[in-house]
Amino acid sequence: MTEESRNKPLYMISVAAELTGMHPQTLRVYESKGLVNPKRSGGNTRLYSQADIERLELINQLTDEGINLAGVVRILDMKERAEEREHEAEQLRARVRQLEDELHELKMQKKITALAPRDGSADPEKVLRGLLSGGDL
């Protein structure tokens, strides 16, 4: 499921309550405390996304384990920050791979340039053999 589809507002409060096994008033309380932020329709109806449902299920699990709402807020914040850090790390890994590819290409260009004759008199077959043998600089 894509991030866009996970965040698409789909479920009215009655459906969200049924999906999570919570009372609609509990969902309203969680919204008032900032634990979940459903979108609103043009008629001001709360619409919950799949991501909201998953978040509510996590809140339900944590409270069932005896964690109070302050602890839930702290856990959700740490979870979000960890996800942000992981996203940043993925971006950095992709950038490192890109730079490694660019460096490799520059090294190959340097090898090729070193094998090419400066005066234009070298035998092309000899240059090709040098390239194929992995001639080092």
Specify the CATH number for the domain of residue 24.
1.10.1660.10
- Residue 5: pLDDT band (50, 70, 90) is confident
pLDDT value at position 1?
Answer: 76
pLDDT value at position 120?
Answer: 60
Looking at the structure, tell me whether residues 86 and 37 fall in a common domain. no
- Residue 135: pLDDT band (50, 70, 90) is low
Domain tally, the chain:
2
Looking at the structure, tell me whether residues 87 and 62 fall in a common domain. no
Let me know if residue 129 belongs to a domain.
Answer: no
Residue 129 has phi, psi (to 5 degrees) of -60, -40
Let me know if residue 63 belongs to a domain.
Answer: yes
Looking at the structure, tell me whether residues 87 and 42 fall in a common domain. no
Looking at the structure, tell me whether residues 10 and 57 fall in a common domain. yes
Looking at the structure, tell me whether residues 56 and 30 fall in a common domain. yes
Q: Quick: pLDDT tens for 20-59.
A: 999 999 999 999 999 999 999 999 999 999 999 999 999 9
- In this structure, are residues 10 and 50 in contact, taking their beta carbons and an 8 Å threshold? yes
Looking at the structure, tell me whether residues 42 and 98 fall in a common domain. no
Let me know if residue 125 belongs to a domain.
Answer: no
Q: What is the mean pLDDT of the chain?
A: 90
Helix ranges, 43-135 (H): 50-64, 69-115, 124-132
Let me know if residue 126 belongs to a domain.
Answer: no
Helix ranges, 1-68 (H): 3-6, 13-20, 24-32, 50-64
pLDDT value at position 57?
Answer: 97
> Rounded CA gap, 78 and 73, in Å?
9
Looking at the structure, tell me whether residues 107 and 52 fall in a common domain. no
Let me know if residue 136 belongs to a domain.
Answer: no
Looking at the structure, tell me whether residues 10 and 63 fall in a common domain. yes
- Residue 137: pLDDT band (50, 70, 90) is very low
Q: What is the pTM of this model?
A: 0.68
The answer on pLDDT for 136 being more than 70 is no
Handedness of CA 59, 61, 62, 68 (dihedral sign): positive
Domain that holds residue 9: 3-67
